[in-house]
Chains A and B, each alone.
Chain A
Amino acid sequence: MRVALFVTCLNDTMFPDTGRATVSLLERLGVTVDFPVGQTCCGQMHINSGYRREATTMMRGFLGAFAGYDAIVAPSSSCVGTVRHQFPKLADEAGDPGLTRDVEEVSPRIYDLSEFLVDRLGVEDVGAYFPHTVTYHSTCHSRRGIMLGDRPYRLLRAVRGLTLIDLPNSEECCGFGGTFSVKNPDVSVAMGSDKVRHVRETGAEVLVAADRSCLMHLGGLVSRSRGGVKTMHLAEVLAQTEESGHGHRRAS
Chain B
Amino acid sequence: MSRAFIGMPAFPAGAKEALGNPQLRSNLHHATTTIRDKRARVIAELPEWEDLRLSGAAIKDDVGRHLDRYLEQFEAEFTAAGGHVHWARDADEANRIVVDLVRATGETEVVKVKSMVTVECALNEALAEAGITALETDLAELIVQLADDLPSHILVPAIHLSRGEIREIFLANMSGVRDDLTDDPADLAGSARAYLRKRFMSAKVGISGANFMIADTGTLVVLESEGNGRMCLTLPETLISVVGIEKMLPTWSDLEVFMQLLPRSSTAERMNPYTTMWTGAHAGDGPKNVHVVLLDNGRTRALADPVGRQALRCIRCSACLNVCPVYERVGGKAYGSVYPGPIGAILNPLLHSVDNGPVEKSLPFASTLCGRCFEVCPVRIDIPDVLIHLRGRVVEETHHGLPGAEELGMRAAGLVLAKPGLLGAAQRAMGVASRLLSHRSTIGALPIPGWGANWSGARDIPVPPRQSFRRWWRRSHRSELPIPPSAQPQTRSETP
Contacts and interface: CB of A to CB of B under 8 A. Distances in A.
Contact of A184 (B12, B417, B464, B481): B12
Interface stretch (B87-95, B162-170, B482-490): B482-490
B11 A184 contact: yes
Interface string A191-203: 1100000000000
Interface in A128-169: 140, 143-145
B411 A38 contact: no
B400 interface: no
Interface string A39-53: 111010111111110
Interface residues of chain B: helix, strand, loop or mixed (majority):
helix
B410 A185 contact: no
Q: Most chain-B CB neighbours within 10 Å: which of A14, A65, A68, A69? A: A14
Contact of A54 (B390, B414, B419, B470): B414
Contacts of B442: 220, 223
B464 A57 contact: no
B9 interface: no
B325 A41 contact: no
Interface of A: 2, 7, 9, 11-17, 19-20, 23, 34-41, 43, 45-52, 54-55, 57-58, 61, 65, 67-69, 86, 140, 143-145, 171-173, 175-192, 216-217, 219-221, 223-224, 250
Nearest to B398: A50
B430 interface: yes
Interface of B: 11-12, 15-16, 19, 325-326, 329-330, 364-372, 374-375, 388, 390-396, 406, 410-411, 413-415, 417-420, 423, 426-427, 430, 442, 444, 450-451, 454-455, 457-462, 464-465, 467-470, 472-474, 476-477, 481-482, 484-486
7 closest residue pairs by CB, A with B = A177-B368, A54-B414, A68-B485, A220-B459, A50-B391, A173-B370, A50-B395
B371 A145 contact: yes
A58 B417 contact: yes
A144 B371 contact: yes
A18 to B, nearest CB: 8
Given A37-B470, A67-B486, A182-B455, A54 B368 contact: no
Interface residues of chain A: helix, strand, loop or mixed (majority):
helix
Contact of B469 (A12, A144, A175): A12
Nearest to B365: A183
Nearest to B430: A13
Nearest to B324: A173
B372 A182 contact: no
Given A172-B370, A185-B457, 7 more contacts: A38-B420, A58-B414, A68-B485, A173-B325, A186-B12, A186-B16, A220-B461
